[in-house]
Amino acid sequence: MNSLMIDKKPLLKVTELKQHFTLKREVVFQAKQVVKAVDGISFELFPGETLSIVGESGCGKSTTGRSILRLDEPTGGDVLFKDESLTKMSKKELRRVRGDIQVIFQDPYASLNPRRTIRQMLDEAMAIQKVLPPNEREARMLELMKHVGLRPEYLERYPHEFSGGQRQRIGIARALAVNPEIIICDEAVSALDVSIRAQILNLLKKLQKDLNLTFLFISHDLSVVRHISDRVMVMYLGKIVEIADKSSLFNNPLHPYTKALLSAIPVTDQTKREDRIILKGDVPSPLNPPVGCRFNTRCPFATDLCRKEEPKLRELESNHSVACHYAEELSS
Amino acid sequence: MTVNTSIVETADLMLARRQVRREKRKSFYSSIGQNKAAVVGGIIILLYISMTLLAPVLAPYDPYTINLQEKLQSPSFAHWMGTDDKGRDILSRILYGSRLSLGVGFSSVFFGAFFGILLGLIAGYYGKWVDTIISRSLDVMLAFPGILLALAIISALGPSLINVTIAVGVFSIPLFARIVRGSTMEVKQLEYIDAIRTLGANDFIIIFRHIFPNILSPIIVQGSMRLATAILSAAGLSFLGLGAQPPSPEWGAMLSSGRDFIFSAPYMAIFPGIMISILVLGFNLFGDGLRDALDPRMKK
């Protein structure tokens, strides 16, 4: 993967992306409250890779996905897709390129319109992006159904006639219908039970290979992330704390938060079990994030420096960046 | 896949497709058929509609012919519902009057629903200042008691059945808009709307193809309830002399003229009253059943 990344241009380049939500005032003269769900993150997504975003709930991983897609208009920063700025595009231009970046949602029950058959969904997707003329769509639909492992006669059915796993396959088929280059999987397998989850993950992997797709995989489930990713990005309170190749991140985590996160993965082999790092307290409110390093309130190694100055994301090893003042000391 | 097999597969698919459609239609009818109240409501409405269509065939007398010799007769075989103070056959008048009542009901609800749905969709989908402007204006309309607003409109336009229709329709607008706005806001944030947005659909497609069909149930329920109230309000306004003008056989107007004879010839008021009540009941029952049958999630 590394060699791949060096000679390839990023497909998606996110710079200083910010997504702030202003809360409604509860009292008349209350100061405006701003939730900084995503607060200036930058990363690149290379063609053909799977980059995972992990973090606890509320760390801004889903919001990142939604901002890239402009489902919520980002507050600041820029997203370049093939050197075109998605954030600066007019709505009309944006609709044109939308087909290139698709999304698979978490909830297979909410992500399909209950009143439309699978045929209508797929046909509509192709019609909107004008991928194929109407007379060629039938064959393409059959092909798509085959791709995602559904029987062709299911085309006539409504979503409520399917199980969760099948619905997720339909969601995937709909995303594939417009020949996307990037698919953002927003907790795409979190709502499925374990056996189905494995099936869908393998399907995604297979599709990635066959269709040369690029995945931005958003998940809180580390075992899933470990299974599917090439690179992993760890977020905490709207910031990237660490981003690295999968093996590098899992074998040699540099940030104390990543270490704590990884220690929470259940291990079956008792001899390999390491001490679990239990973090103190809760995630601070994103309304009022800590000054300095955002992790300082819960970090066992926090110093005065951490409480004053925010650490920048810096590349410590090749393809392994971390935002911690003491990463070098802590890794040894 | 060779050409031949693909043709065969496509043909199979088309058969399967037709089959599924047939089953779907069947399941709609059977699910509404299982709801006894809805069946009763549906039959009532059908009876009224056939009455409307067949009035000239069914009516034994002309509804307008005055025959003072036979005035104020109680129900008999010659006049099943008796005659009114001008000797006109009440049954014939009621049969013809059903056209007016149903017509006013349907057209005012259609009028109110059309504008209400449009405003509600726009307010709910776009939100922000668009919503503020629309919602506040609707609040102003809602602040008037319905009958007062209707009176104001009619006094501006002049009393006639068409103006009653407009007045009742206008008053229905905020009721539809409010329900539609709420449902739109609810559906708008569902993931399938996000999905269709990421596919690049424009607002028109999102609103009318994806949001609107999913908020039909509350609209239908509201529509049937409004039909009932619209018929009542129209009858009420006619009762006050603001709607249908004599000698029109509108039921409200008939009730009103029957009021003067309520002790000597109660059937003059009773029959139009009964007709109005049953029709209102029918729409209410049917609306509820329709809601259940239209919701695909309620199907087994």
Measure CA B76 to chain center. Answer: 34
Read off the tokens for B287. Answer: 């609306």
The pLDDT assigned to B109 comes to 92
Q: Give B16 to chain A, closest Cα distance, Å.
A: 7
Instruction: Reply yes or no on whether the pLDDT at A264 is more than 90.
Output: no
Strand, coil or helix: A41: strand
Give the DSSP H or E segment for B41. helix B36-58
> CB distance B199–A152 less than 8 Å?
no
Which of B164, B160, B179, B271 has the alpha carbon at shortest distance from B225? B179
> How much is the average pLDDT of A56-65?
86
Q: Is the pLDDT of residue A3 over 50?
A: no
Return mean pLDDT, chain A. 86
Q: What is the DSSP annotation of B267-280?
A: HHHHHHHHHHHHHH
Amino acid letter, residue A40: G
Residue B29: φ, ψ to 5°: -65, -40
pLDDT digits (tens, 9 = 90+) for A115-161: 889 999 999 999 988 888 888 888 889 989 988 888 988 888 888 88
Q: What is the pTM of this model?
A: 0.79
Judged against a pLDDT cut of 50, whether residue A40 lies above it is answered with yes
B residues 21-40 near A, CB within 8 Å? Answer: 21
Which token pair is A295?
Answer: 């992790």
Segment A148-205, tens digit of pLDDT: 888 988 888 888 888 888 898 999 999 999 989 999 999 888 888 888 888 889 999 9
User: How far apart are the C-alpha atoms of A13 and A81, rounded to whole Å?
Assistant: 6
Instruction: Please give the pLDDT value at position B252.
Output: 84
Q: Which residue is closest to B299 within chain A, CA to CA?
A: A160
With CB atoms and an 8 Å threshold, state whether A171 touches B10: no
- Determine, for residues A106 and B191 on separate chains, whether the beta-carbon distance falls below 8 Å: yes
Average pLDDT over residues B215-232: 85
Give the whole-angstrom CA distance, residue A12 versus residue A196. 30
Domain boundaries, chain B: 24-298
Question: Can you identify the CATH homologous superfamily of domain B24-298?
Answer: MetI-like (1.10.3720.10)
**Which residue among A66, A95, A115 places its CB closest to the CB of B296?**
A115
Confirm or reject contact between A136 and chain B (CB < 8 A): no
The whole-number pLDDT of residue B181 equals 94
Digit-coded pLDDT (tens) for B12-61 = 666 666 666 666 666 666 666 677 888 888 899 999 998 888 878 877 77
Query: What are A66-108's pLDDT values in tens digits?
Result: 999 898 888 888 898 888 888 888 888 888 888 899 999 988 8
Q: What is the pLDDT of residue B88?
A: 83
pLDDT-derived band at A232 (thresholds 50, 70, 90) equals: very high
Q: Edge to edge, what strands does the sheet with A320-322 contain?
A: A101-104, A182-186, A214-218, A50-54, A231-236, A239-245, A320-322, A314-317
pLDDT on residue A315: 86
For CA atoms A235, A236, A237, A239, the dihedral sign is negative
ipTM score assigned to the predicted complex: 0.84
Q: Does any CB of chain B come closer than 8 Å to the CB of residue A112?
A: yes
**Which residue in B9, B199, B296 is closest to A128 by CB distance?**
B199
Judge whether A125 is closer than 8 Å to chain B, CB to CB: yes
| Interchain CB contact of B191 with A (< 8 Å) | yes
